[in-house]
Amino acid sequence: MTAISTPALSHLRALEAEAIHVIREVAAERERPALLFSGGKDSIVLVRLAQKAFAPGRVPFPLLHIDTGHNFPEVIAFRDKLVAETGLELLVGSVQESIDTGRVREETGPRASRNRLQTVTLLDAIAQHRLDACFGGARRDEERSRAKERVLSLRDDFGQWDPRRQRPELWDLYNARVRPGENIRAFPISNWTELDVWQYIASEELELPSIYMAHEREVFERDGMLYATSDFITLIDGEEPFTASVRYRTVGDMSCTGAVRSLARTLPDVVAEIAATNITERGETRADDRATEAAMEDRKREGYF
């Protein structure tokens, strides 16, 4: 008998097929999903994957952005442009509104950040819109606690994650069932690396916020990281702004997201730069992950992304 040969999927197309499978499974099993959209590269990839999952139809769920009020202006402009071009529905949860209504208390001091405050705003938005599933762009190579989560992560009635309650996932069999009050976080690109994401962006020619490419910016150095000068950060004695060629590997809140020195102004340059580094993006550029050894896991237990 002659064996039937089938063409092997490339690495990226295999990851794409797995992610599309996850998106379709969750969309089929849950009534009110949404896609958590930060304007960053991972959620931009998720949008493309969702478009492919339901083409030629439209994506059957909205985007949900949690706006800290301290986001990079380039990212907010990109978010609005993408929504206008794609016609996707956008839901916005505002940390400023959470502060104004007394749901959270603004941190004070030169190291104040709204990053952790996002959790309350996110959980309020999930409750307000009665969402029972949220797609997120978390990857296992980002940070150790994210490596602990399964592709589908159960959240309890209070939106919290308990690592001991994770469900088994055998091969590509996923359990998206929830009881009233519970919801799930779905991570379709959990098995991707940062390099996979950049290579996929290059292969799909996806547009990104401009701050992902090297540009001249006024920054200052704190704790070994380069922060953009802005109205949201108070300089400490001894900190002096200077101009440098930098880019961002992740686009979180301006108060806790650092830039890296770089001359990579094109996608091929960035892919080459990421291929050569041995430092994770969060380890290099996120102050919120440096607070304690378990900073991310603590936030995730509370309901963080």
pLDDT (tens digit, 9 = 90+) per residue, 141-164?
887 777 788 999 999 988 888 888
Least confident of 104-108, 200-204, 272-276, 299-303: 299-303
- Picking from 18, 84, 28, the residue whose alpha carbon sits closest to that of residue 52 is 18
pTM beyond 0.85, yes or no:
yes
Q: What is the pLDDT of residue 20?
A: 98
Mean pLDDT of 51-57: 97
Q: What is the pLDDT of residue 293?
A: 62
* Structural domains of the chain in order of their starting residue, each with its CATH number: 11-195+293-302 (3.40.50.620), 210-289 (no CATH)
Strand 33-36, strand 133-135: pairing: parallel
Q: What is the pLDDT of residue 1?
A: 45
> What percent of the chain lies above the pLDDT cut of 70?
93
Strand 183-186, strand 133-135: pairing: parallel
Least confident of 16-20, 59-63, 140-144, 269-273: 140-144
Mean pLDDT of 20-37: 97
Answer for the pair 211, 257: CB distance below 8 angstroms, yes or no. Answer: no
Residue 130 Ramachandran class (φ > 0 left, ψ -120 to 50 alpha, else beta): left
| C-alpha to C-alpha distance for 58 and 158, rounded to whole angstroms | 31
Q: Which residues contact 80 (CB under 8 A, 6 or more apart)?
A: none
